[in-house]
Structure 1
Amino acid sequence: MDLASNSVNGSQMSQWERLVQLPAAFSQQLHDLYDREALPMDVRHYLSAWIESQQWQRAASDYDLAMVLFQVLLENLDIQYSRFVQEDSFLMQHNFRRYKQNFQRYLENPCVLAHNICWYLEKEKEILQTADLAEQVRVMQVEQGGFETSTQRDLDHRMASLKNEVQCMEHAMMCLEEQQDEFDFKYQTFLIEAPLSGNPDNPQQAKLQSLINKLNDCRKNTLFGLNKLLEKAEDLIDVLVNKEKVEWQRRQQKHCIGAPHRVCLDQLEKWFTCVAESLFQVREFLSKLEELAGKVTYEKDPIKGVKPSLQMRTEKLLSDLLKSSFVVETQPSMPQGKGPLVLRTGVQFFVKTRLLVKFPDLNHHMKVNVSMDREPPQIKRYRHFNVLGTTSKALNMSESKNGGMVADFRHLNLKEQKSGGGAKGAPDISLSVTEELHIMYFNTLFEFKGMSVELQATSLPVVIISNASQQQSACASVLWFNMLSQDTKDLMFFANSPAATWPQFGEMLSWQFLSATKRGLNDAQLEMIANRLFGKQQSYDICSVAWSTFSKENSPDTFWVWFDSIVVMVKANLENLWRDGLIMGFVTKSKEKTLLKKKQKGTFLIRFSESVIGGITFSWVENNATGDPEVKTIQPFTKDDLSQIPFPEIIRHFLILKDVPQNPLLYLYPNTPKDEAFGKYYADKSGLDSPYLIYIKTRLVFVLKGDTLEAVSHMSTDAAEGEVPQPIEPFGNVAVQPVDSLEHHAANCCLDPMLCDSVANLGDDPMYPSCTNHFFDSEPLPTSL
C-alpha cells in the first residue's frame, strides 16, 4: 500500500484522488502539467498524502522550515524505494533512485523546492475548478444537451449511411470490373474464332450483344449509385458547413465573452473527416471508371457522357468541404490578459488553428502562415501592424491533446507600422483605438492524392492596445461585438454600432460572473441592474442599451467600468462567498430598506455599492429610540480594503462601540445565523502559535469615525519597552472590523473589563497574554512584519 492510500479523511477525497478520477479531457491537462522535471508525477502520486499536508507556501519564504521539509521528502523517497525493493519492482526502484538524486539540487536552496511544489498544487486546483465548472455547465444545460444529442445521433446515423453507401459502391465497382473482364475475354475470343468459322450468323455474336447490354446497364447503375452517393455527401456538407460549423462559430464567439458553451471540435472533425474520406473514394471510383472505359467502350457509352459532370461535382464538393474545414480553434489571447481577442503591442500572445479533415498522411506536411489585415478598411488613421515571432508552423498531430491536426502558435507579438495613416482621400470616420477592429489571417495549402486547394482561416476581430490602461475599454468592445454581430469580418462595426436588447445585455452580464466565479446572476440581481439603467419599468424586455451607454458616456466612470470593477473585486476577494449565495450583490437602496425593515433586529444583507467603483457594503436593521426599525449602512469597502482584511472576518468582528460593545450583525438575510453562514470562512487560529513567528502580533482593523473609515493597528510595535499605549475612548456608532486575532505583551495591554472579554497565550508562554478587543490609535501597520 502506498502513501496515497492515507489521503482520504472520512468521506472527503484528497486533491490528488479527485484529479486521477477526472474525465480524459481533464486528465490530459494533468499529464501536461507533470510533463516537467521539477516534480515527477510518480513522486506526487506515492507521496500525495504527505505533500498535501505540508505548509509549502510558508516554507517558500522560511528557509528553516523548507530545509526540514526537504529532508523529510528525501526520507519518504527512501521509504518508498524500500517498498519497491520488497515488491521486486525493479523499474520503480530505478526511477525513485534517480528522483532522489535530482532533488539533491535543492540542497542549497530548499525554498525553491517549496515554491515549485506550491505552484504545482495551485495548478492542480485550477484543473479541478475547470472540471467543476464544466460539470455545472452540463447540469445547467440538460435540455440543450438533450437537443444536441438528438442532432448528433441523426448526423452519426447519416454518416454511417454514407459509409455504407461507399462500401456498397466499392462492391459494385468490383462487380462491374469482373463483368467487363468477362465481356472483354469473350469478345477477344470471338474476334479470333469468327474469321475461322466463316458463319455470318455466329451464335457467339448474340451472346456478346447480350453481355454488352448487361455491361451497359451495370455502368448506368454504377453511375446512378455514384450520383446518389454525391447527393448524400452534398446534403451532409450543407449541414456541416452552413449549420453545424456556423453554430460552432457562434458558440465560440459567445464563449469568448464568458458564455458556458461547448466549443470542442472533436465531433465536427469526425464528421468532416468522414465526408472527406468518402469523397476521396468517389474520386477513386471515377478514376476506375475512366480506366475501364479506356479498355472497353462503345457508342453511347454512359461513362463518357456522365463521368465528366460527376468528376466536376466531386471536385467542387471536396474543395468546398476542405475550405470550410480550416478554422481557428483557440482565438488570439495573451497569457496575462482578462480574456481572448484583446492584444497588446510588444506582448506575446498565442493562437491555435486546426484542420478538421484529419489525414495522418499529412502530418507535418502543411505549413500555416500568419498575417494581419489582408483587407483593411479604407479610413483615415486606421493602424497597421506586423506580426513578429514564429509566423510559420506545420499542422501536426503532436501538439493536440486529442491528436487533431493543429498549428499552435505560442510566441507571436505585434508591432505597429509607423508609416501610413489610411488611404488618401479615405473617409474620416472617428473610431477610438479600442473600437478599431483587426483580423488575423492563416493560410495553408492542402495537397493530397492529386487534390490541391488553398485554405484560409480568419480569427474573430481583435482589439489591439498599446497600454494596459486601455485593457478595460478593449474588453468592452470585444463583449459588445461578439454579443451582437455574427458577421465576423465587419471591421467597421463600431462606426454605427447597434443597440443591445435587455435580454441580450442581461445574459452577457451574467456570463461575466459565471466565467469568473462559476455563479451567474439571478433574475432579482438582473432586475436591479435594469432598474439602474432604465428606471422602474413593468417589463424590461423591450428596453435596449446603446453602445455609448455601456462604455463611452461619462468616461471613465461608465457602466462597464462600474460593473467590471465589481466582477474583478468578487473574483479576487469574494469568490467563495458569491458562489455560496451569501452576497445579495445587486440590490437598490430602496429595495434594501424594504427587505430589511420587515425582518428581526440584527438581520443584514451584503450588496455592491452603486456610487463607489468596485465597492461592497452591508446594511443591517436595528430599532431606534422609539422602537421603530431603522436600516444602517457601513461605508463601502474596496478591493484594497479586502486585501488587508478578509470579508468574513469583517463580518465576524464588526463592533459598534457604545456603552457596551456589540456586533449588530446577527442574521444574514433572510434569517440565517451569521456564524452558520460564514463560519467555514473564519480564519483558522491553529497556525497562529507557530514557534517560527518571533514578532509581537498586531491586528489591522477598520474604525468608522463619523463618515470616515480609517485603517489602524491594534498596537504600535514602535512603542518603547514598558510604554502603555492609550486606548481609544468609546464614542457613538463606531464600527470596528479586525483582521486577525490580537496577541501582544501584557506590559502593552490596558485590560478594560468593558472592552476585553478574551485572553489567549502566545505559544506556550504564560507571560504573553493577548487581548482581542483593544483598539489603539496608531499609524496603519501591515498585517505581518
Structure 2
Amino acid sequence: MAMWIQAQQLQGEALHQMQALYGQHFPIEVRHYLAQWIESQLWDSLELDNPAEEAKAKRLLESLVSELQKKAQLQGGEDGFLLKIKLGHYATQLKSTYDRCPLELVRCIKHILQSEQRLVQEATNASDGGQAMDSLSQRHQQINQAFEELRVSTQDTESELRKLQHSQEYFIIQYQENLRIQAQLSSLSSLPPAERSQRETSLQSKRATVEAWLTREATTLQKHRLDLSEQHQKTLSVLRKQQTLILDEELIQWKRRQQLAGNGGPHEGGLDVLQSWCEKLADLIWQNRQQIRRCEHLTQQLPLPGPMEELLSKLNADITDIISALVTSTFIIEKQPPQVLKTQIKFAATVRLLVGGKLNVHMNPPQVKAVIVSEQQAKALLKNESTHSESSGEILNNNCVMEYHQATGTLSAHFRNMSLKRIKRSDRRGAESVTEEKFTVLFESQFSVGGNELVFHVKTLSLPVVVIVHGSQDNNATATVLWDNAFAEPGRVPFVVPDKVLWPQLCDALDMKYKAEMHSGRGLSEDNLVFLAQKAFSSGSNNPEDYRSMTISWAQFNRESLPGRNFTFWQWFDGVVELMKKHLKPHWNDGAILGFVNKQQAQDLLLSKPNGTFLLRFSDSEIGGITIAWVAENPNKRLVWNLLPYTTKDFSIRSLADRISDLNHLLFLYPDRPKDEVFAKYYTPPLSKAVDGYVKPQIKQVNPEPSGAASTFMDQTSSPSFSHPSSCVYPSMTDTMLDPDGDFDLEDTMDVARHVEELLRRPMDVLCLSLPLTLSLSRSLSLSL
C-alpha cells in the first residue's frame, strides 16, 4: 500500500502518466480499494511465458474477485450504495475479462506496479534538487528534456504549417481573383467604347494591385516554406541525436545487461522505460513525417520557383530512414532462448516490438518465424550477403503470431513450445569441440505501417547458443556461454570473443556466476580468488597483486587439463558450484564453509587451534567434492586429519549437517564456533514412534579410529564398525587409496544403501563377525534402531 500512497502524491505529467495506466482493463478504483492486497501478492514470482503458471494466476484472479466482492459488501449507507454497485460490477467485469487468460491479469498488474514505481522514483529524484543525481538519473533527465524540446518544436512546426496552409489558401483565392479580373478585361471588347474605357481603367488598376500583392505574397510564401524546412531539419537533427542516444546507448546497454544476466548478473530491467521512450520517438517521428508530406502536398498544389521540391524530398528520405532504423532496432528478444540448448527438449522465447502499439502494427498482426543458424550464416546475414534465411537445424513450433496486450501496451510473440529436432554442425577448427560451436536463433517478421505505406522486414539474433545432445556436455557448453557472455563486445562480428583476458576480468565473471547460484551477496573473496589463481596458473604466490596483470587463455580455462589432473579449471570450478547449489548453499551463506583452501593451508590454519577444531574445504583432486579437515592429538604429535571427500551422491543419502552432528570428535568450526551453534538448525529431527509396529533404521556417520590417534577425540566404540564410504580419515600418504594430493579416488566406493540392506538381513552374530573384515575398506556405518 506504501507504493499507492506515494503514487497518489504525483503531480503534473507524472500524475497523468499514472492515470493513463488504468482503464476498462483494470479500473483505478480496484487499485485504490485493494491497494494493500495487491501490493502484498508475489506477482513477480509468476513466469508469464510458462503455461504451467496458469493455475497460480487463476487462483490470484479468484482471490482478487473475492476481495473485491468483500470490499463491496462492506460499503453501507447512502454514500456507499453507488460504490457497492460499482465494485460489484468491477468484480464481474474482471472475472469475465481474465477468466480464460488469467496470466494476462498478472501481466497487467506487474506492468502497473513497475510503472508506478518508476514514476515515484523519478519524482523522488527530481524533488531531491540539491542532492547530486547519479549518472543514470542525469541521463534519464537529459533524455526527458530532449523529448520536451522535440514536443515543443513539433508543435511549433505544426502551427507554422497551418499558417502556411492558410496563407497559401488565401493566395490561391487572390490568384483566382486575378484570373477573374483578366477574364473581365477580355470581355470588355463587346462593350461600347465609352463604357469599356471607364471599366477597363478600373479593372486595370485592380489587377495591378492584386498582381503586386501576389508577387509580394509569393516571395513571402517561398520564405515561409524555406523557414519551415529549416525548422524541420533542426527537429530531425535532434530526433536523430535522441534516437542514437536511446538505441545505440540505452538499448545496447539493456542488451548487455541481458547478456550478463546469462552469467548470473542482475536481471535486466528498464524495458518498459525503453518502450515508453521508443514510443515517444515513434510518435514524434510520425508527426514530423506527416508534416513534411503535407508540405510536399502544398508545394505540389502551388509550385513556386526555388529549391523546395529538392529540400522536401531530402527531408522525406531522411525521416523515412529514421523511422526505419527505429522500427528495425526495436524488434528485440525480450526473453532469450536457453543458451545451452539440448535437442528434443522444449524451450521458450519471447520477441517484442517496442513501437508496435504506437504504430498500430497489431491492426494486422504479423507472424514471427524462428530458425537456428550457424555462426557463419549469422555473419552473412549481418553483412547482407544472404537474402534468405538458411537454417542449420529444424525447430518445431517455430511460428507465432504477435499479440497486442492492451493492459501493458506491448506487442509481442511468445514461443512457448519450441523444440530443436535436429542440428547440422559445421567443420570445426583445430582443437574446437562440439561444445565450443556457437549457433543463434534468428527471429524474423514482416509488417506494414501507415496502411501499407511503409513495409518493414525485420530480423533479430539471439545470444549465442551451444547445442548439446547429452547432459554430459552441459558443463563444457556452459563454459563456452560464460566466456562469450562475459567478454563479448558490442557490435562484434558473430561471435568473436578474445582468446585471452586479464585474470581480474575472469574473476568478475566467476564471482557473478557464483553469487547468482548461491542467491546471496556472499561471493568470492580476495582469498578465494587467490586460491583460484594458484590453481589456474599452478602458482604458489599468495599475493593478489601478482595476478592482476596476468592473462588467462580460453585453453587454460576449459581446454587444457590442470597439471596432474584429468579435468580443466572450469570443470573443477563448475563442480564446486553444482555441489554448493544443490546441497550446501545455506552453509555457504552462513559463512560455515571456507571451501577454497588447499590441504597445506588447512593444516596451517588448524594446528594453532584446539583439538576438535575443523573446517570444510573443496577437494583438489575430485570434481564436486568437499572434505572435512580437523586437528586431533596423537601420542607423539598433533595431526590434521582429512575425511574422504563427500560428493552429491553422499549428500543425497545424508546431509552435511547430520554427518557433522554424528562425528562427536568435531567440536568447533574454524576458528572457534561450537558446531551446534552453526549447524543445529539444519539437523534432521530424531525419528518418532514406530509406524505399523516397525522401527525405521537410521544411517549414521561413524569414523574409524585413525591408527595411532588418541581415542579421546574419536567416537567411542568397543570395536571397529562398518563405515560410510566417505568417512575415511588420513593424516598422511600412508594409505594406498590416497592419490598424490591426499584425496581419495571414489571409483571404488561401495553403494551404501546396498550394504545397509545386506547388513539388516543378516543374523546379529553374522553381522558382528563380519565387522572386523570391513577395516581394510575404511568404511563405517552405524545402524540405530
Instruction: Provide TM-score, normalisation by structure 2.
Output: 0.69
SS at 1:328 equivalent: strand
Pick closer, same or farther for the CA change 1:184–1:691 going to 2, 3 Å: farther
Q: Specify the alignment match of 2:395 in structure 1.
A: 388
Q: Map Cα deviations across residues 266-313 of structure 1 (whole Å, 9 max, x no partner).
A: 22222222212221112111111112122223222x532410111111
Q: Specify the alignment match of 1:316 in structure 2.
A: 321
Hey, which of these two has a bigger chunk of helix by percent? 2
Pick closer, same or farther for the CA change 1:518–1:541 going to 2, 3 Å: same
SS at 1:439 equivalent: strand
Q: Specify the alignment match of 1:644 in structure 2.
A: 653
Pick closer, same or farther for the CA change 1:397–1:514 going to 2, 3 Å: farther
1:705-724 maps to which residues of 2 (within 5 A)?
A: 705=704, 709-710=724-725, 711=752, 717-718=760-761
SS at 1:644 equivalent: coil
The code of the aligned residue for 1:362 comes to V
**CA distance in 1: counterparts of 2:396 and 2:203, whole angstroms:** 83
The code of the aligned residue for 1:389 comes to L
Which of 141, 144, 147 is matched with 1:159 structurally? 147
**CA distance in 1: counterparts of 2:642 and 2:137, whole angstroms:** 50
2:348/2:417 contact within 8 Å kept: yes
Pick closer, same or farther for the CA change 1:622–1:162 going to 2, 3 Å: farther
TM-superposed CA distance for 1:570, in Å, is 0.9
1:409-424 maps to which residues of 2 (within 5 A)?
A: 409-416=415-422
The code of the aligned residue for 1:536 comes to G
TM-superposed CA distance for 1:374, in Å, is 7.0
**CA distance in 2: counterparts of 1:47 and 1:573, whole angstroms:** 40
Whether 1:183 and 2:171 are equivalent positions in the alignment is yes
Whether 1:147 and 2:135 are equivalent positions in the alignment is yes
The code of the aligned residue for 1:294 comes to Q
Which of 337, 353, 356 is matched with 1:355 structurally? 353
TM-superposed CA distance for 1:38, in Å, is 11
**CA distance in 2: counterparts of 1:633 and 1:144, whole angstroms:** 55
Pick closer, same or farther for the CA change 1:587–1:41 going to 2, 3 Å: same
**CA distance in 2: counterparts of 1:268 and 1:631, whole angstroms:** 58
Pick closer, same or farther for the CA change 1:238–1:492 going to 2, 3 Å: closer
SS at 2:403 equivalent: coil
Query: Mean Cα displacement is larger for which, 608-617 or 27-36?
Result: 27-36
Pick closer, same or farther for the CA change 1:698–1:25 going to 2, 3 Å: closer
Whether 1:695 and 2:694 are equivalent positions in the alignment is yes
Q: Specify the alignment match of 2:342 in structure 1.
A: 344
Query: Mean Cα displacement is larger for which, 317-326 or 221-230?
Result: 317-326
SS at 1:343 equivalent: strand
Pick closer, same or farther for the CA change 1:492–1:273 going to 2, 3 Å: closer
2:357/2:410 contact within 8 Å kept: no
The code of the aligned residue for 2:556 comes to T
1:354/1:406 contact within 8 Å kept: yes
TM-superposed CA distance for 1:542, in Å, is 1.2
**CA distance in 2: counterparts of 1:512 and 1:210, whole angstroms:** 74
Q: Specify the alignment match of 2:703 in structure 1.
A: 704
Which of 204, 211, 230 is matched with 1:224 structurally? 230
2:617/2:627 contact within 8 Å kept: yes
**CA distance in 1: counterparts of 2:491 and 2:297, whole angstroms:** 46
Q: Give the number of the structure with larger relative contact order, counting CA–CA contacts within 8 Å between residues 6 or more apart.
A: 2
Unaligned ranges ≥5, structure 1 = 1-16, 49-79, 99-126, 132-137, 334-340, 656-662, 745-785
Q: Map Cα deviations across residues 207-232 of structure 1 (whole Å, 9 max, x no partner).
A: 44443343333222211111111001
Whether 1:370 and 2:370 are equivalent positions in the alignment is yes
2:225/2:308 contact within 8 Å kept: yes
Q: Map Cα deviations across residues 86-129 of structure 1 (whole Å, 9 max, x no partner).
A: 9999989x99xx9xxxxxxxxxxxxxxxxxxxxxxxxxxxx9xx
Q: Map Cα deviations across residues 676-696 of structure 1 (whole Å, 9 max, x no partner).
A: 2223222234xx436756531
Q: Specify the alignment match of 1:257 in structure 2.
A: 263
**CA distance in 2: counterparts of 1:523 and 1:152, whole angstroms:** 35
The code of the aligned residue for 2:432 comes to L
Q: Map Cα deviations across residues 586-619 of structure 1 (whole Å, 9 max, x no partner).
A: 1222332333334344332222111122111222
Q: Specify the alignment match of 1:458 in structure 2.
A: 461
**CA distance in 2: counterparts of 1:314 and 1:478, whole angstroms:** 39
TM-superposed CA distance for 1:233, in Å, is 1.0
SS at 2:336 equivalent: strand
Which of 473, 476, 481 is matched with 2:479 structurally? 476
Q: Map Cα deviations across residues 627-657 of structure 1 (whole Å, 9 max, x no partner).
A: x7543322211111111111111222213xx
1:210-609 maps to which residues of 2 (within 5 A)?
A: 210-300=216-306, 303-333=308-338, 341-359=339-357, 361-363=360-362, 365-373=365-373, 376=376, 385-398=392-405, 402-416=408-422, 429=430, 431-449=432-450, 450-486=453-489, 490=493, 493=496, 498-519=499-520, 520-534=523-537, 535-537=539-541, 538=543, 539=545, 540-554=547-561, 557-609=567-619
Q: Map Cα deviations across residues 685-713 of structure 1 (whole Å, 9 max, x no partner).
A: 4xx43675653121112333459753575
**CA distance in 2: counterparts of 1:172 and 1:388, whole angstroms:** 54
**CA distance in 1: counterparts of 2:533 and 2:223, whole angstroms:** 72
**CA distance in 1: counterparts of 2:459 and 2:431, whole angstroms:** 31
SS at 1:678 equivalent: helix
Which of 15, 28, 40 is matched with 1:21 structurally? 40
**CA distance in 1: counterparts of 2:397 and 2:150, whole angstroms:** 41
SS at 2:135 equivalent: helix
2:400/2:415 contact within 8 Å kept: yes
Percent of residue pairs identical: 25
Pick closer, same or farther for the CA change 1:187–1:690 going to 2, 3 Å: farther
Unaligned ranges ≥5, structure 2 = 1-35, 77-83, 96-109, 115-120, 126-130, 186-198, 380-389, 708-722, 726-751
TM-superposed CA distance for 1:388, in Å, is 3.0
Which of 654, 664, 667 is matched with 1:665 structurally? 667
The code of the aligned residue for 1:351 comes to A
TM-superposed CA distance for 1:531, in Å, is 1.6
The code of the aligned residue for 1:178 comes to H
SS at 1:611 equivalent: coil
SS at 1:373 equivalent: strand
The code of the aligned residue for 2:661 comes to R
Query: Mean Cα displacement is larger for which, 35-44 or 434-443?
Result: 35-44
Q: Map Cα deviations across residues 389-426 of structure 1 (whole Å, 9 max, x no partner).
A: 2222222234x9944222222222234467x976xxxx
Instruction: Provide TM-score, normalisation by structure 1.
Output: 0.69
Whether 1:168 and 2:168 are equivalent positions in the alignment is no
1:651/1:737 contact within 8 Å kept: no
1:696/1:717 contact within 8 Å kept: no
Q: Map Cα deviations across residues 474-512 of structure 1 (whole Å, 9 max, x no partner).
A: 111111222223267755758xx6122211111111122
The code of the aligned residue for 1:620 comes to W
Pick closer, same or farther for the CA change 1:20–1:572 going to 2, 3 Å: farther
SS at 1:281 equivalent: helix
The alignment yields a C-alpha RMSD, in angstroms, of 4.6
2:344/2:420 contact within 8 Å kept: yes
2:606/2:614 contact within 8 Å kept: yes
Q: Specify the alignment match of 1:40 in structure 2.
A: 59
Q: Specify the alignment match of 1:620 in structure 2.
A: 630
Query: Mean Cα displacement is larger for which, 460-469 or 550-559?
Result: 550-559
Pick closer, same or farther for the CA change 1:411–1:635 going to 2, 3 Å: same
**CA distance in 2: counterparts of 1:650 and 1:46, whole angstroms:** 50
SS at 2:341 equivalent: strand
TM-superposed CA distance for 1:235, in Å, is 0.6
Q: Map Cα deviations across residues 12-33 of structure 1 (whole Å, 9 max, x no partner).
A: xxxxx99962576557869986
TM-superposed CA distance for 1:723, in Å, is 11
